[in-house]
Copies of this chain bind each other. A is one copy, B any other.
Amino acid sequence: MIAEEKTISSELVFKGKIVEVRVEKAKLFDREVMRELVLHNGGVCVAAFTDDDEIILVKQFRYAFKEALLELPAGKLEAAEDHYSAGLRELAEEVGAVPDEYEYLGVLYPSVAYLTEKIHIYYAKSLHFGETHFDEDEYIEMVKIPFEKAVEMVLANEIKDAKTAAGILMIAAKRSKK
């Protein structure tokens, strides 16, 4: 049986620049349960391809893991920002590219038990390259990887970022259907 839970009360316990944390009381049948929620505006990432079928990844140090990770170019949404144009903006800023073809692949929920983040994934190709414009504090290295090799890297667990692994494998699965 699927049990719906209705919010009774919500207490803001932390408000940061990236996340907000709430402790909520919810009604589950005739009982009250406590739920911890991390609220995040969500993000967008773009799987962009060169004309030689290389996928463009960015490598950057991630403080949460104290390691440099390979990722799809991505960014956080501002409140109520539209993810379609945010994806184009991130691709322009981090890769310096504007695509002729740009297609929505779908949305993923990174950690459903407590985190409200949704990450939208786009596919881009026929790129025109210009200049990059990084945010302050962003030190990013662009890497172009032949797509088949990128799939191998996901399967060898050399690409660990969930949005990047899922995005690459979505495209691989779509291609293998054709």
**Which residues of A48-86 have CB atoms within 8 Å of chain B's CB atoms?**
59-66, 68-69, 71, 76
Determine the distance from Cα of A130 to Cα of B114 in the docked complex, in whole angstroms.
29
Task: Write out the residue numbers on chain B whose beta carbons fall within 8 Å of the beta carbon of A163.
Answer: 162
Residue of B23, B65, B155 near A112 (CB, 8 A) is: B65
Judge whether A107 and B160 touch: CB under 8 Å.
yes
A165 at the interface (CB under 8 A from B): yes
Q: DSSP class of A's interface residues: helix, strand, loop or mixed?
A: mixed
How many subunits of this chain does the assembly comprise?
Answer: 2
**Which residues of A65-123 have CB atoms within 8 Å of chain B's CB atoms?**
65-66, 68-69, 71, 76, 105-117, 119
A interface residues, how many (CB within 8 angstroms): 70
Judge whether B18 and A21 touch: CB under 8 Å.
no
5 additional A-B pairs beyond A35-B63, A64-B113, beta carbons within 8 Å, are: A14-B21, A17-B34, A24-B63, A119-B162, A155-B170
